[in-house]
Amino acid sequence: MARPRTISDTAILAATGRAIARHGLPGLSLAMIAKETGLAPATLVQRFGSKRGLLLAFAEQAEPGARRPFQTAREAHGSPLAALRSALAAMASQVRDREELANHLTFLRLDLTDPEFHGHALTHTLAVRQEIADLLAEAVRAGELDERGDTGRLARTIQVTYNGALIVWALTGDGELPELLAETLDDVLSPFSPRPA
């Protein structure tokens, strides 16, 4: 009879994310991830096959992870634009300082150069864009945005703005990240505010 698992795969993958944030990908070892989980490295190999297998499992959870902040924001806010602001702020809250952002960005090289990881990264990127577009379409129906904008293109612009704001904030240290994101989002959306009757 197999021994019961003392920690779930979900908890291991969350620990993997914390280890990546703390150490970056180049120097990351199974021992570092094991230390985050309280498990032995051999247990991680038993579950995921290898470090690559564990990192692929971490990447595979990207799409549901991308949708979660938007679902939570929808439940908390009646306004689609308030939900959009809240979801983007929640995504950014995972980054505490520039070193942590730099460590997360080390995963980007893998996303861009390895086809398996790229597939997961693309799925994540498109899921975020679709969530933004859906909230923008809801904002148009709710009268929070003017109908003259193409919500698909505007969603892409907001996604680019969000990612750019992270980089600019890390480089310049201008203020607090949530405030910078809120200001840049307002700048992007202001031309689409409803015109007075």
Percent of the chain scoring above 90 in pLDDT: 60
The secondary structure of 41-82 as a DSSP string is HHHHHHHHSSHHHHHHHHHHTHHHHHHHHHHHHHHH-SSHHH
pLDDT for 160? 96
Is 1 domain-assigned?
Answer: no
Domain count of the chain? Answer: 2
pLDDT for 101? 87
Does residue 182 share a domain with residue 144? yes
Per-residue pLDDT tens over the stretch 140-172:
999 999 877 689 999 999 999 999 999 999 998
pLDDT for 1? 39
Is 173 domain-assigned?
Answer: yes
Does residue 140 share a domain with residue 99? yes
Q: C-alpha distances in angstroms, 12 versus 40, 74, 79, 96? A: 12, 28, 35, 21
pLDDT for 2? 45
CATH number at residue 26: 1.10.10.60
The residue among 111, 94, 82, 98 whose CA lies nearest residue 168 is: 98
State if pTM tops 0.85. yes
Is 3 domain-assigned?
Answer: no
Is 134 domain-assigned?
Answer: yes
Per-residue pLDDT tens over the stretch 67-109:
999 999 999 999 999 999 999 999 988 888 888 888 888 989 9
Does residue 130 share a domain with residue 66? yes
Does residue 161 share a domain with residue 70? yes
Residue 145 sits at φ, ψ, to 5 deg, of: -130, 150
Is 28 domain-assigned?
Answer: yes
Q: Which structural domain, as residue segments, surrounds residue 151?
A: 62-192
Does residue 123 share a domain with residue 111? yes
CATH number at residue 130: 1.10.357
